[in-house]
Amino acid sequence: MSYKFEIENLNAWFGSKHVLRQINLKIREKAVTAIIGPSGCGKTTLIRCFNRMHEIVPRAKVSGKILFNGMNIYDENVDPVSLRRKIAMVFQKPNPFPMMSIHDNVAAGLKLSGIRDKEKLNSAVERSLKMAILWDEVKDDLNKSGASLSGGQQQRLCIARALAVEPEVMLMDEPCSALDPIATAKIETLIRILAKDYTVVIVTHNMQQAARVSDFTAFLYLGELVEYGHTRDIFENPKKELTEKYITGVFG
């Protein structure tokens, strides 16, 4: 059994506010793991720790370990920028670069890495857009602004942009919260396709979405990991009373 992340005694703070408390969790490789829990329980902070985006916030700090492919990402010799190329992130609100074309949005990370060969860039753009199930919709409009797309298309464009640099992990923070049901269904289909080749971690408030797309589910409450296991077990036979109350809507 292969784990992409092994989190050991992880704590996170914003200033004096203790946001995550003693999190111990193993994330399976090439599977979808959903992180669920009420607002303010630390879900987004947790996945932002996975690629060290948490530390970008002033006065934020962490303790403990996060092993990625067996390496502690918080070791002094780890370059956060290089790490984030391997651990991509898609945010709640689609954020294409508005002054860039669809093509240049997808190619942005590659250009930052120093790739200038047009043939390589064009090939990577086409491959990434196809993987994001967007190519057929935009292939004749690659020079149009990324901001001209619909919300769902913009989110898939952001996924294509993340895929272009060939990461190993896709972190998704509420990727469907701003989308309509049709666009949401396309993103959910894409998540399942991506899990064949990537490790996917998704934060979601939507219980049905977690049940539909994930293989494993972690339930957080007040910064603590309450329960973690196969998604079916979490939803159909939770071990903890608190998990059952949250799943059944007693609180949230």
Q: Give the span between the Cα atoms of 64 and 44, in whole angstroms.
A: 18
Could you state, in order of their start, the residue ranges of all structural domains in the chain?
Answer: 3-247
Confidence label for 251 from pLDDT (cuts 50, 70 and 90) = confident
CA distances to 57, 60, 80, 103, 196 from 30, in Å:
29, 30, 22, 28, 6
Q: Give the CA radius of gyration of the chain.
A: 18
- Dig out the tokens for 122 from the structure: 């064009």
Query: Which amino acid would we find at residue 100?
Result: M
User: What's this model's pTM, rounded to 2 decimal places?
Assistant: 0.93
Find where tokens 């002094």 sit. 76
Q: Give the span between the Cα atoms of 55 and 90, in whole angstroms.
A: 17
Q: Which CATH class is domain 3-247?
A: alpha beta
Mean per-residue pLDDT, 168-192: 93
Confidence label for 249 from pLDDT (cuts 50, 70 and 90) = confident
Which residues lie across from 72 on neighbouring strands?
67
pLDDT tens digits, 100-134: 999 999 999 999 888 898 999 999 999 999 999 99
Q: What pLDDT is recorded for position 1?
A: 65
CA 218 to chain centroid, in Å, comes to 14
pLDDT tens digits, 188-201: 999 999 999 999 99
Please, are residues 146 and 102 in contact by the beta-carbon 8 Å criterion?
yes
Q: What angle do CA 149, 192, 72 make, to 5 degrees?
A: 100
Q: What pLDDT is recorded for position 235?
A: 95
Q: Give the span between the Cα atoms of 100 and 105, in whole angstroms.
A: 6
Please, are residues 153 and 138 in contact by the beta-carbon 8 Å criterion?
yes
